[in-house]
Structure 1
Amino acid sequence: RTGGLAGEIARESHLGEFNDDLERKMREMRALEMDKGQMDKKLQHVQAEMAELLYLRRHLRACADIYADQLTGIAGITGGRPTSSSLSNLSQISGSPVGGTPSPTPPHSSGGTPLSSFSMSDPPVSTPPTPSLASGGGDTRTPR
């Protein structure tokens, strides 16, 4: 051994500093891992919300298509024709041309608002028109 007692004290001191530094870095690493875990959970939540929004957008398009079909049916019964502006308005609301093919399959998602809380029942296309719709009025169904 070289350095005697002074060398051993210096080595112990250096080893203590190294140990303290290692413990500090381990604490920092655990904190970063916790942050990463929280960010992963947030990302999963955002992805689930996006999947639900995409599903609802497709569902809204399907509803707009059904509504357009009902307008066309009403026009056929009354002898009139739906105007291009009314169909254009439906197209703008739904974001797709009237008569598009929606995908009614819900995504499998975790977290967020459960899809079961939304009304998934569309009125059938063969529903007879209500007088208010035939006279040009709005939808008289009560919101759910």
Structure 2
Amino acid sequence: METTPATTGDVEMTQVIHQALVDKHLLPQKHIVDTAYVDAQHLLTSETPLGLELLGPVPSNSSWQEKAKLGFELSCFTVDWEHRHATCRQGHISKSWHQRSDNYGYPVIQVRERRPDCVACSVRSQCTHSPATARVLTLKLQPLYEAEAKL
């Protein structure tokens, strides 16, 4: 058990808990956790240093498209990592691709579609609620993105 401030997310404690179990020689071979304690990064790294298999669902996509089961959420775009662009279902190729940090300081890729393509698109309302700007996608780095896509 760990006591933390309310501002500390459960997912931030996964590695702390694992280390505490290692220190007590109680680390299991498989650790089953709920959504709050797992993310793609944990799934990629838990087995390597500790010999642990972490089992648990990754938090679901929180976009309005995913919640409404309507429109074009992230998996509807084809991501070309080599050429650094994304293509929407209408065949439009993104304008820009930049690495940034998310609100928690983790690196992400921000992909912006071309405004003229988005504004003129016949299915725009299924892609973005913005009346004037182009769709912006936020992707995790490639290994994390691909790890989540397999789940």
Q: What is the TM-score with the length of structure 2 in the denominator?
A: 0.23
- Structure ranking higher in helix proportion: 1
RCO (CA 8 Å, sep 6+): is it higher in 1 or 2? 1
Which of structures 1 and 2 has the bigger CA Rg? 1
